[in-house]
Amino acid sequence: MQALENKTKWAWWVATFFGAGYLKPGPGTYGSIAGMLLWYAAAHAFHPTPILLSLATLFVALLLTDLGIRASTIVARESGRKDPGFVVIDEVAGQLIALVLMPADWKHAALALVLFRVFDIFKPWPIRKLEALPEGTGIMLDDIAAGAFALVVGFLLCRFVPQLG
């Protein structure tokens, strides 16, 4: 784990999502899984209505996006890297966006995870263009866009593929 002396500790904890960004291989996948597991645990611990789960998921995703822009900007500057691979708060927030309309079961959580990772890894247009935005904004918003693409595709699959409905 990267030493935190002379670094902005809160930003490193947030940006790495409490150390998940240091897991290998594929720290982004670990960040996505962490986001999905937290969503699933919260859904089953609190038993919200589907509408409340969607609204709470969106609220948390937007809150993490705002916090993630600030934290990842600091971490990028302090690490001297444009988009450090160990910054995974963007995957957590993007994964939550992908889960906004999903029912709280394993099948739909896994579908959202796979769709998000596909869009996050391949970054079709216009997702890739968002990486060019400055600092934490670019780090975060390409994953938010990947989450939005996964959200739409996941919703359509659940609506029109009977096995997923």
Token pair of 7, please?
Answer: 């670094």
Segment 13-34 mean pLDDT: 97
On average, the pLDDT of the chain sits at: 95
Q: In this predicted structure, what is the pLDDT of residue 6? A: 83
Q: Residue 2 pLDDT > 90, yes or no?
A: no
The three-state secondary structure class of 18 is: coil
Terminal CA-CA length for the chain: 42
Query: Around 39, how many Cα atoms within 13 Å sit in the side-chain half-sphere?
Result: 37
Q: Compute the Cα dihedral for 49, 103, 44, 150 and give only its sign.
A: negative
Segment 46-73 mean pLDDT: 98
Rounded distance between C-alpha atoms, residue 30 and residue 96, angstroms: 14
What does the pLDDT look like over 72-131, one tens digit per residue?
Answer: 999 999 999 999 999 999 999 999 999 999 999 999 999 999 999 999 999 999 999 999
Residue 119 CA to chain centroid, in angstroms?
Answer: 12
In one letter, which amino acid is 43? Answer: A
Q: Residue 5 pLDDT > 80, yes or no?
A: no
3 pLDDT tier (thresholds 50, 70, 90): low
Q: In this predicted structure, what is the pLDDT of residue 114? A: 98
What does the pLDDT look like over 74-84, one tens digit per residue?
Answer: 999 999 999 99
**57 with 107: CB under 8 angstroms?**
no
Phi/psi at 61 (5° precision)? -60, -45
Q: In this predicted structure, what is the pLDDT of residue 112? A: 98
Q: In this predicted structure, what is the pLDDT of residue 149? A: 98
